[in-house]
Homo-oligomer: A and B are copies of this chain.
Amino acid sequence: MNTQREINDFFNTGYKRYVPHVSIDCAIFGYHERQLKILLINIKSVEGMCLPGGYIKRTETLTEAAGRIVEERTGIKNLFLQQFKTFGDPGRATVRGMDEKKLSKIFGVRIEKNNWIMDQTISIGFYAITDFSQVKPKPDFMSEFCKWYDIDQLPHLLFDHDEMVKEALHTMRLQLYHYPIGINLLPEKFTLTEIHALYETLLGKKLDIRNFPKKLMFLGVIKKLNEKINIGPHRSPFLYKFDKVKYNKALKEGIILD
């Protein structure tokens, strides 16, 4: 979706390839060294930022569509994706003063009255987590910027995206002990200190260092290796890795704790 031809096709025949009236918005969380960020984009000639989103191809499942949208912005495939809520209040996505005329001007294509893109849209929220240090965010054709923002220094977002972020965070934190979140966020082999920092950051609170390993090991998705890593003039920590078999099982079924 870069050439003028493609943009024209999107506006004028997109409704044939995509399901109109429905979009997906993605809260893409980024973690790295005790920092939690979220990926935001803008919309050309609209003041303010919002979550990246997109439409669903008529051949895709919802999760496939969300995966494609996330990949388009981050370049990363196969991220852990979870649906968290669907948003559909009337007027939730209207931009004051935006119309087909303005759109035509902004995108340099002819956009007729009643273009499919201007109609009411219901949006399905997904969240994903990746390592922001490995991601060079790519704006979509509708936006100029695509950047990581610190989770506790977010500006007010457009549309109902403030609420989306709140719900995404809430769901992610609820699911942290029920789904195997962490692969892609840590090196293949990692120390307890590293995964401890990850969980503290994602949850936004302190976790007792002596109790954390017990709880974590109890989940059963990571295993201790008989290897240590050299970290300079300190005791060498053991390495751990995710147990692929149990990890994939947990991905499908969730981790039942109750």
Contacts and interface: CB of A to CB of B under 8 A. Distances in A.
Nearest to A21: B21
Nearest to A61: B89
Contact of A61 (B56, B85, B88, B124): B88
Interface in A67-87: 83, 85-87
A60 interface: yes
Contact of A88 (B87, B90, B124): B124
Contacts of A85: 83
A12 interface: no
A28 interface: no
A interface, over-half SS: strand
In the complex this chain forms, how many copies of it are found? 2
A90 to B, nearest CB: 6
A14 interface: no
A153 interface: no
A75 B25 CA distance: 35
A101 B62 CA distance: 30
Interface in A109-144: 120, 122, 124
Interface in A7-59: 19-22, 56, 58-59
A186 B98 CA distance: 50
A122 B22 contact: yes
A15 to B, nearest CB: 10
Contacts of A20: 20-21
Contacts of A87: 62
Contact of A56 (B60, B62, B88): B88
Contact of A22 (B62, B83, B88, B90): B88
A86 B83 contact: yes
A182 to B, nearest CB: 20
- Ranked 5 nearest A-B pairs via Cβ: A62-B88, A86-B86, A21-B21, A61-B89, A86-B124
